[in-house]
Structure 1
Amino acid sequence: MKKILPGLLLLSAALSCTNKNEKMEPYKWPDAKAPIADIKPFTRILHGDTVVDNYYWMIDYFKKGPDSTKVVDYLSAENKYLDTMMSGSKAFREDLFKELKGRIKEKDESVPVFNNGYYYYSKTEDGKQYYKYCRKKGDLNAKEEVLLDVDEMAKGHPYYSATGFSISPDNKLIAYGVDKVSRRQYTLYIKNLETGEIFKDQIDNTEGDAVWAADNKTLFYTSKNPVTLLSEKIKKHKLGTDAKQDVIVYEEKDKSNYIGAGKSKSGKYIFIYSSATLSDEIRMIDASKPDDAFKVFQPRMKDVKYDVVALDDKFLIVTNWNATNFRLMETPLNQTGRENWKEVIPNRKDVLLSGVDEFKDYIVLAERKNGLAQLRVRSLNGPEHYIDFGEPTYTARIGSNPDYNSKTVRYIYTSMTTPISTYDYDMVTKEKVLKKQQEIIGGYNKEDYVTERLFATAKDGTKIPISLVYKKGLKKDGTAPLLLYAYGSYGSSMDAGFSSNNLSLLNRGFVYAIAHIRGGQEMGRYWYDDGKLMKKMNTFTDFIDCGKFLIDQKFTGKGHLYAQGGSAGGLLMGAVINLAPDLWNGILAHVPFVDVVNTMLDESIPLTTNEFDEWGNPKDKEAYFYMKSYSPYENIDKKDYPNMLVTTGLHDSQVQYFEPAKWVAKLRATKTDKHLLLLKTDMDFGHGGASGRFDYLKDVSLNYAFLFSLEGITK
């Protein structure tokens, strides 16, 4: 394999330089002058409250305003300042990049997935940034068919994302989406897999995925608003016709809802989903009758979520209707209204039902209990059991199982010391077979590391789970550096999983920890409810209390505690440095959502209206003042702040570049310390950073070099 030896040497060197609590020399930062942004006061008056925003002009690149060029100049100046301040770590960062890249198996192949007569998989090759999407007919020994060569397709593009691969029922065509800007505005293409021809049916500004009807010539897809990027319409396309003439089969009028299209695993039904934070509505048609009008499964109900799974003889419904932690219901195929729903599995106070995967003879339920994922296998004839995992903190989820007739369920398992593992589990015999485990090039021994699950006590007495991992032999005397990560929004659970990149931290003496704070859904639906809207402050104080707990337990100490979060987790970073600035020695804030009030007031900004049920609508007086009380940008004060590295992307579609840019500019002008404050803007990318499988490691190297420099670690 190409360049394995350097990876081995680098990993060996890393293993040998673990932190033994010796005195470290701090990094000597260059004496450079930070950019100072122009002040152009803009006044916001709402609910009798007057706020002056000196950096509102930074929105002009997004709004195509008069200061558009000035914005780019400022971001470029910040990039230059970062390059200067981090110049002494350049060689170290290059070594870190090689170290990180050296752990990745360059020539690799995913576990094949069987669907409709073919085995589908992707494969990567030495030195290539992307992958090839392939299949074999009927047998894994059959001839390989390369459906899409994304390595070739991406040539000449700084950013390239191909997604939403959808094969027609007759296996002859593939639909897929391409984004070349990193703004999640995909163009749909259709390719003839028999001739290699790319059809002229190119459809712009979509979500990137499409659903085939049974006739192999009709596609349903989601069309986006070009300005707000909201998913507004479901359209129907007939092969060979002009996409501009595509029929709108559904248009969402509620701007707080996301919409999309999907297909039942059995292939019998096509669904349209309309989903908000607090409610759902599903429509459906027979997949063999694409010109029929979509029928509402159950009209949307206030504060009621529901999802639908189609079996041969009935529908299953996962819903929180009169069930905080969700329950499982069933209803006849021809009577889908709520009045016909019959309970199968009731609501349980200590167990969250988060999803169900359907098979002809079985269902597999995804549940959460005490903050941990569970997979429950249930025969449609009655007997059921749980899959045993055997570790104290881990992640387990249902994998790709497109074959409705299978008696095997594929699931993905990982922990903070177990690399990502793909298992096939026989639902009849209960036998599990490890199909593949992520290979760490250069060697990895899980016995060299320790993982723990602890509980911190929040200020209101709530117990907050923390998952952590560290190198065996760590002295718990308060001198070890620790990186604490969390997200805490949208009910997204941040489970404990393996990261080969984290080895570069652990091998240099860092502890890595995940705080499972409120706003996620780790401990049940109430965990989410207690961390959003008018209870959002719990998310921030939970994280602070977790940091204090880890100091009290001597995993780290003041001066060695670091925090990391991105997007809504970047909001978390911004809030905790205002609330407890002296707790952290350094902060990594990635694409941070920090200008909460201004963004939520501007409905032209992408995704704003979808977020009202998460944060509130500041046009409401009570919501306005509550949001203002924690919004990081609004609460910057004249005081000392920790060292900070902030990242953003000029084309970010989720959190626009101007939020972190304004935040950094205001911090520079206000804070009283001389700690480092760096802003890096990717001028070619968006919310997720670089698209290649290696390029993103340059950002990881920068993040780690920043932390290591603060700790005086130089190799």
Structure 2
Amino acid sequence: MTVQPPASTAPVAARTSTIRTHHGDAFDDPYEWLRAKEDDEVLAHLRAENAHTEGATAHLEGLRTRIFDEIKGRTLETDLSVPSRRGDWWYYGRTVEGQQYGIQCRAPLASPDDWTPPQLEPGVDVPGEQVLLDANVEAEGHEFFSLGSFDVSKDGTRMLFGVDVAGDERYTVRVRDLVSGQPLPDEIPGTFSGAEFTPDGSGILYTTVDDAWRPDTLWLHAVGTDVASDVTLFHEPDEKYWLGAGITRSDKYLVISVGSSITSEARILDTADLTAEPKLVWPRTERVEYSVDHAVVDGEDVLLIVHNDEALDFELVRVSAEDPQGERRVLLPHTPGQRLLDVDCFRDFAVVEYRRGGLARVGLLDYGSGEVDELPFDEPLYTAGTGGNPEWAPPLIRLGYDSFVTPGTVYDYELSTRELLLRKRQPVLGGYDPGDYDQARVWATASDGTRLPISLVWKRSFGDAGRSPRPLHMYGYGSYEHSIEPRFSIARLSELDRGVVFAVAHVRGGGEMGRQWYEDGKLLQKRNTFTDFVDCARHLIDSGYTSPDRLVAEGGSAGGLLMGAVANIAPELFAGILAAVPFVDALTTILDPSLPLTVIEWDEWGDPLHEKTVYEYMKSYSPYENVRTDVAYPRILAVTSLNDTRVLYVEPAKWVARLREVGADALLKCEMVAGHGGVSGRYNSWKERAFELAWLLDVLGLADD
């Protein structure tokens, strides 16, 4: 049964009439005044909400401490990542017990033929090690710290890093001379994430955003010059498109990518002359998406392009880099149900990543034969992908792998022997045994007959999931074609070890089952996302996995919209709902093109500003506008951040105020110095997760366990 917290007086937000009129519909929004972020009354209200939440959850302080200690006790706090080779150095990261942030380091290769990463031991000095960036030092004096850019020039003599100390994802880039160890005078404020050096290290490529927080301009900064003289390489004026850029692994081209969520366009620049006119790859065509990488095949510079032009689940083609709009040679034809995700080119082969049967797959593409050798993995549920492969002609490929029960694992795949070489598995202290846990996939049926995958993980000692109703924590997202992968989590062990079953409902709008899965959960089919989640919950209840008084749902950002929608659709199915940075005032946001990202988002949600049908459809599901007076809501915890630029704090603040009007037990927790990802620093993030899990366990009646 649900344990109710001690009674406390909740803040009551003042009601002030604000009329919003569109398409002949007038909506009186009583809490829109909470949008005035700098207003003293708004800040006072948010602090009162925090005080109320702290008071209402004070009885969980001991449990929060225990969960935090469990997370900390299972984590090897002083640890190192697996080194990745680049140029003449092995690059890796360190963490040190008691320190919030990571430390970026490097050590010299033993020889030019050295491709076996050194076996590093925590606390043991590495011969020739250089500390490049200690984020703990850089974060001193700041409540929030985030590293948005980090790069070392190819010759290893310079380093750049971009820092955000507010949480608004606007980074100041600084440069350091790695020979002398001294900072250079270069300082570039207001950048987006992902700045990088040019191949010769003399310049820095970076992007900036417009007033709507849309990356729209690519710049070239010459190291050692005033930022006022930086050169604009490309500007995208269309407010529906964002801009990104990156240098190919071959160092031959700079690829400038422009895109919305449904349309792409790319240009290439030879890095030998970055101030030349960029060459258009394919002109933008509505609803055609593509990505580009460079390869050399039979001595010719070619572009490998993943695209969906008359290929719903995408195909891979090859074109001449000299004439990219010329003949297309199909390398991997469109295969319905197998969603081709990406191609990663190396000198002698390419790595392709794709989804089939709801799981991510990795294969090696032979340039000559066109054959793909898929890498085998044994578990029924897993996550695999490439990472840490900066070299152009390596004899092995770095892979990341994990599952719900297998901790994060780093492999090198040796090309000559086709062998997976285990480099490291994330240590879990305290005697963790993956055999103590089990994972499975079950299928629910949506109201329209669609089969919906649900992934489950549980601890075996409590019995098999589904044998009898158990406390169950159900997660969902379902937007932007983003797939929720079966990943390992140390923090999750604190609930599994208390008998909770963890489930992921892979609802439409995500990307788990291919592009059509995404198309069927967006725009005027968005309701499928919400009803799928409800149908998954009903399946788990009807099949004996759980019961409504033992079921808590969680989602964040667009998944927070999902949480708000299902709270309105089927509140009777859930004991609690945890909504992180929730997009619960969706219509108000998407109606305002001056807000960050709004115009870009019209391809995902529709354009309610200009289309009455979209306006009416969004108004029918936007959680804030559809809070009901005829139902009893489950307990709700909404977590947000004052400086979030993606989903503004005002959305959950308004939602909680409206829920309180109808008697809901709704709590708001607002971080006053943080962004979309919440607090910074690993210990702070552990405390934040311990707070959320303690609330969740309290709802499930497990607070005393």
Residue identity in the other structure for 2:342: G
Give 3-state SS (helix, strand or coil) of 2:191's partner: strand
Give 3-state SS (helix, strand or coil) of 2:190's partner: strand
Structure 1 residues 320-339: Cα deviation after superposition (integer angstroms, max 9, x where no partner): 011000000001121111x4
Aligned partner (choices 423, 429, 440) of residue 435 of structure 1: 423
Give the aligned partner of residue 124 of structure 1. 95
User: Is residue 394 from structure 1 mapped to residue 382 from structure 2 by the alignment?
Assistant: yes
Deviates most, 209-218 or 481-490:
209-218
CA–CA separation in structure 2 for the residues paired with 1:395 and 1:329: 26
Give 3-state SS (helix, strand or coil) of 1:38's partner: coil
User: Is the Cα–Cα contact under 8 Å of residues 122 and 134 in structure 1 kept in the other structure?
Assistant: yes
The percentage of aligned residue pairs carrying the same residue is: 40
Give the aligned partner of residue 97 of structure 1. 68
Aligned partner (choices 631, 645, 649) of residue 637 of structure 2: 645
Aligned partner (choices 138, 152, 155) of residue 109 of structure 2: 138
User: Is residue 702 from structure 1 mapped to residue 691 from structure 2 by the alignment?
Assistant: yes
Give the aligned partner of residue 9 of structure 1. none
Give the aligned partner of residue 380 of structure 1. 367
CA–CA separation in structure 2 for the residues paired with 1:192 and 1:208: 21
Alignment of 1:413-562 (within 5 A): 413-475=401-463, 476=466, 478-562=468-552
Give the aligned partner of residue 137 of structure 2. 152
Give the aligned partner of residue 646 of structure 2. 654
Residue identity in the other structure for 2:486: A
Deviates most, 460-469 or 205-214:
205-214
User: Is residue 369 from structure 1 mapped to residue 360 from structure 2 by the alignment?
Assistant: no
Give 3-state SS (helix, strand or coil) of 2:604's partner: helix
Aligned partner (choices 166, 191, 194) of residue 151 of structure 2: 166
User: Is residue 279 from structure 1 mapped to residue 263 from structure 2 by the alignment?
Assistant: yes
User: Is residue 195 from structure 1 mapped to residue 180 from structure 2 by the alignment?
Assistant: yes
Structure 1 length as normaliser, TM-score? 0.93
Alignment of 1:670-681 (within 5 A): 671-672=662-663, 676-681=665-670
Residue identity in the other structure for 1:208: S
CA–CA separation in structure 2 for the residues paired with 1:378 and 1:241: 43
Structure 1 residues 296-331: Cα deviation after superposition (integer angstroms, max 9, x where no partner): 222211111011110123110000011000000001
Residue identity in the other structure for 1:205: G
Aligned partner (choices 555, 560, 568) of residue 578 of structure 1: 568
User: Is the Cα–Cα contact under 8 Å of residues 176 and 208 in structure 1 kept in the other structure?
Assistant: no
CA–CA separation in structure 2 for the residues paired with 1:627 and 1:150: 43
CA–CA separation in structure 2 for the residues paired with 1:608 and 1:418: 39
Deviates most, 276-285 or 658-667:
276-285
- Post-superposition offset of 1:663: 0.5
User: Is residue 356 from structure 1 mapped to residue 343 from structure 2 by the alignment?
Assistant: yes
CA–CA separation in structure 1 for the residues paired with 2:554 and 2:253: 43
User: Is the Cα–Cα contact under 8 Å of residues 211 and 261 in structure 1 kept in the other structure?
Assistant: no
User: Is the Cα–Cα contact under 8 Å of residues 384 and 399 in structure 2 kept in the other structure?
Assistant: yes
Give the aligned partner of residue 121 of structure 2. none
Structure 1 residues 78-134: Cα deviation after superposition (integer angstroms, max 9, x where no partner): 111111111111122112111111111101000111112211100111111111111
Give the aligned partner of residue 690 of structure 1. 679
User: Is the Cα–Cα contact under 8 Å of residues 531 and 538 in structure 1 kept in the other structure?
Assistant: yes
Aligned partner (choices 168, 176, 184) of residue 183 of structure 1: 168
- Post-superposition offset of 1:407: 2.6
Give the aligned partner of residue 123 of structure 2. none
Q: Which runs of 5+ in 2 are unaligned?
A: 111-117, 119-125
CA–CA separation in structure 2 for the residues paired with 1:437 and 1:31: 46
CA–CA separation in structure 2 for the residues paired with 1:349 and 1:456: 22
Structure 1 residues 556-596: Cα deviation after superposition (integer angstroms, max 9, x where no partner): 01211110000000000000001111110000000000111
CA–CA separation in structure 2 for the residues paired with 1:557 and 1:37: 34
Q: Which runs of 5+ in 1 are unaligned?
A: 1-23
User: Is residue 298 from structure 1 mapped to residue 282 from structure 2 by the alignment?
Assistant: yes
- Post-superposition offset of 1:532: 0.6
User: Is the Cα–Cα contact under 8 Å of residues 313 and 335 in structure 2 kept in the other structure?
Assistant: yes
User: Is residue 613 from structure 1 mapped to residue 603 from structure 2 by the alignment?
Assistant: yes
CA–CA separation in structure 1 for the residues paired with 2:199 and 2:413: 30
Give the aligned partner of residue 40 of structure 2. 69
Q: 1:203 to 1:234 in 2, by over 3 A?
A: same
CA–CA separation in structure 2 for the residues paired with 1:340 and 1:303: 21
Give the aligned partner of residue 250 of structure 2. 266
User: Is the Cα–Cα contact under 8 Å of residues 627 and 659 in structure 2 kept in the other structure?
Assistant: yes
Give 3-state SS (helix, strand or coil) of 1:155's partner: coil
User: Is the Cα–Cα contact under 8 Å of residues 478 and 551 in structure 1 kept in the other structure?
Assistant: no
Aligned partner (choices 22, 30, 34) of residue 54 of structure 1: 30
Residue identity in the other structure for 1:106: E
- Post-superposition offset of 1:474: 3.2
Deviates most, 469-478 or 363-372:
469-478
Aligned partner (choices 315, 325, 347) of residue 303 of structure 2: 315
CA–CA separation in structure 1 for the residues paired with 2:254 and 2:205: 9
User: Is residue 329 from structure 1 mapped to residue 317 from structure 2 by the alignment?
Assistant: yes
Give 3-state SS (helix, strand or coil) of 2:392's partner: coil
CA–CA separation in structure 1 for the residues paired with 2:276 and 2:26: 54
Give the aligned partner of residue 114 of structure 2. none
Aligned partner (choices 240, 243, 247) of residue 256 of structure 1: 240
Give 3-state SS (helix, strand or coil) of 2:699's partner: helix
- Post-superposition offset of 1:511: 0.3
User: Is the Cα–Cα contact under 8 Å of residues 111 and 435 in structure 1 kept in the other structure?
Assistant: yes
User: Is the Cα–Cα contact under 8 Å of residues 636 and 666 in structure 1 kept in the other structure?
Assistant: yes
Give the aligned partner of residue 627 of structure 1. 618
Residue identity in the other structure for 2:502: Y
Give the aligned partner of residue 329 of structure 2. 342
User: Is the Cα–Cα contact under 8 Å of residues 279 and 304 in structure 1 kept in the other structure?
Assistant: yes
Give 3-state SS (helix, strand or coil) of 2:683's partner: coil
Aligned partner (choices 380, 387, 394) of residue 406 of structure 1: 394
User: Is residue 205 from structure 1 mapped to residue 190 from structure 2 by the alignment?
Assistant: yes
CA–CA separation in structure 2 for the residues paired with 1:101 and 1:455: 35
Structure 1 residues 329-373: Cα deviation after superposition (integer angstroms, max 9, x where no partner): 001121111x42221111001211001111111111101111111
User: Is the Cα–Cα contact under 8 Å of residues 150 and 196 in structure 2 kept in the other structure?
Assistant: no
User: Is the Cα–Cα contact under 8 Å of residues 361 and 407 in structure 1 kept in the other structure?
Assistant: no
CA–CA separation in structure 1 for the residues paired with 2:202 and 2:144: 31
- Post-superposition offset of 1:142: 4.3
Give the aligned partner of residue 12 of structure 1. none
Structure 1 residues 664-699: Cα deviation after superposition (integer angstroms, max 9, x where no partner): 001111x245xx311000011111111101111111
CA–CA separation in structure 1 for the residues paired with 2:277 and 2:602: 31
CA–CA separation in structure 1 for the residues paired with 2:639 and 2:666: 11
Deviates most, 412-421 or 372-381:
372-381
Deviates most, 581-590 or 230-239:
230-239
Size of the aligned set, in residue pairs, is: 681
CA–CA separation in structure 1 for the residues paired with 2:89 and 2:673: 37
Give 3-state SS (helix, strand or coil) of 1:208's partner: coil
The alignment yields a C-alpha RMSD, in angstroms, of 1.3
CA–CA separation in structure 2 for the residues paired with 1:711 and 1:208: 39
- Post-superposition offset of 1:399: 1.7
User: Is the Cα–Cα contact under 8 Å of residues 255 and 292 in structure 2 kept in the other structure?
Assistant: no
Residue identity in the other structure for 2:274: P
